[in-house]
Structure 1
Amino acid sequence: MSVGLLGLLDDVTALAKVAAASIDDVAGQAAKAGLKAAGAVIDDTAVTPNYVTGFSADRELPIVWRIAVGSIRNKLLILLPAALALSFFAPWLITPLLMIGGAYLCYEGAEKVFEAIFPHEAHAHEAEALPQPADPGKLEEERVAGAIQTDFILSAEIMTIALAALPDLPFWEQALVLVIVAFGITAAVYGAVALIVKADDFGLALASKGRTGVGRATGRGILIAMPWVMQTLSIVGTAAMIWVGGGIVIHGLAGFGFDQIEHLIEAIAHGAEEMLPALGGFIEGLATILADLVLGLALGLVLIPVAGKLIGPAWKAIRGLFPRKAEA
């Protein structure tokens, strides 16, 4: 009896170890998949604060919350089932979709670079394309809807990148990892956004009502630093977007047999490492990132006129086939 009990306990212990290892593997895979999507995540964090600009302070956090709820809905109700169906029925489509998403990231990043170089043209285009309603309630609804639409595109890229990082996992583990990625990334992005949009209010309150000189000075420092923080975040987000998009497209081309660009980048990276052996793998990785960044920017700049002259008019024509009902 005791031998049987010990054997049962051994079996239970072994099952527990297997379960623990599986949980650890899922957590590790979720972290890995989340890191793969870093470029889109940074861009999501950099873009979202713009949607609360111009609203009163008491509406900022409710707007961020509404966008976050819409983001979770995008990921769990639409993108997660689509990603799992894709993995199960048509895994061969993952790479082409990733490449399309990567090209979109390059285009978005290159467009931001263009706007930074030619701001007057960009502002005139935005004023013409996106007229702002006078009613604050309607403006909030349109801003939230626009943010959720933008989030859908970025979330689709995040979930596809995450899925591509999980090719060897069983179906249920893929589903669990994607759920963890969806909640984790949404919490990280919109938690950071909430802190960013309220940082200036906190700094103002601290600067005006702080009980000590150090506290008031800290508040003034926050107020001075926040514009620089936002600008830095925007630059980092744009660079990350172009880098990740360029890397996705280059790797996808290699998967289809067009590996000349990838081999060229590898040769450049190895050459950089040989020139600066003291920096080792760091300089090799940096050279790879810079090469992906340059090629991604070049691709994005090429896509700007394509989007403006072909894709944009085609999309408007399609939307024109389904006119909205006139408002009462």
Structure 2
Amino acid sequence: MTRAVLAIDLDAIAENWAALDARSAADVETAAVVKADGYGLGIGPVGRRLLRAGVRRFFVAQMAEGVALRAAIGDGPPIHVFAGYTGADRDDVENAALSPLLNSPEQIAAFSSDLKGRPCGLQIDSGMHRLGLAPEDDAAFRAALDRLDPDLVISHLACADTPEHPMNARQLETFARRTRGIPRARLSLAATGGILMGPEYHFGVTRPGVGLYGGLPFAGARGVVRLDLPVIQVRDVRRGDAVGYGATWTAPRPSRIATLSAGYADGLIRAIGGRVTLFAGDRPVPSVGRVSMDLMAADVTGIDPAPEFLTLIGPAQGVDGVAAAAGTIGYEILTGLGHRYERVYKGVD
């Protein structure tokens, strides 16, 4: 092996979707979020596999993602775009049959002028203060319900990964109050964390994202990715020898150091250096020194023969384990996995 291998289990993604779908009532539709290039794993193969699994509604962040997804999955399923609409998006909306989620009176006005009669949705701000129509925009919201006949009204929970946080209940109450009188089948509040908090958060459509890809807060998810890093050199170092930039690690004893062909250019962020564990089979191997652009190092002392590769993400450690070593979240690790890996898919159509 001379190139790092990122193995992506599309069947596991489908099984995670089915598991989250099973947590919802029969009259609740479970959609899928495939933004950020399918959370870094490929919007085309991920979208097609989810379509085969039964997904009939998708969400993306940006228009270009929607165009790419439409090309991959073909006509039919609605594709909602979180970022909404500007006049510059008109061709994408028409040609790829996208449904923008309008977030402001200005977006409502632009869409009404350009594309009235085409599918759209509305997003309201229930307390996160990020995207969505604020309470003071309620007149524009109500007018848009009548004038545009949107197919979906959504909001987004700020603290769903912390179920006991009081903001969840406040946002639920706000969303229910502001959408009172709108048919239930057109409402959506819950992503992965909201699904796990229970049916009162589910409304008509749920939209799992990170849980599909094996990430927290869905602790019961199947692992989706495996990342094996090739060992391109092994060398003996003496007690007191330094390894890597900045000489941040010195050998406490005579050691064998493996140099691995991957670095922060591949999404292995610098903060994991000297903190993350890799694995030779089921044997833990500590990383040492700083992660550089193309390389990182691990202490393989006592492993004979020296391993040909070490596993960073796999059965013994998922993306959230790597994230914990870096002081971040699994989302960042997952979506940052680079394009130099050899990508191997299981479960392709």
Using structure 1 for the length normalisation, give the TM-score. Answer: 0.28
Report which of the two has the higher share of helix. Answer: 1
Report which of the two has the higher share of strand. Answer: 2
Higher RCO (C-alpha under 8 Å, 6+ residues apart): 1
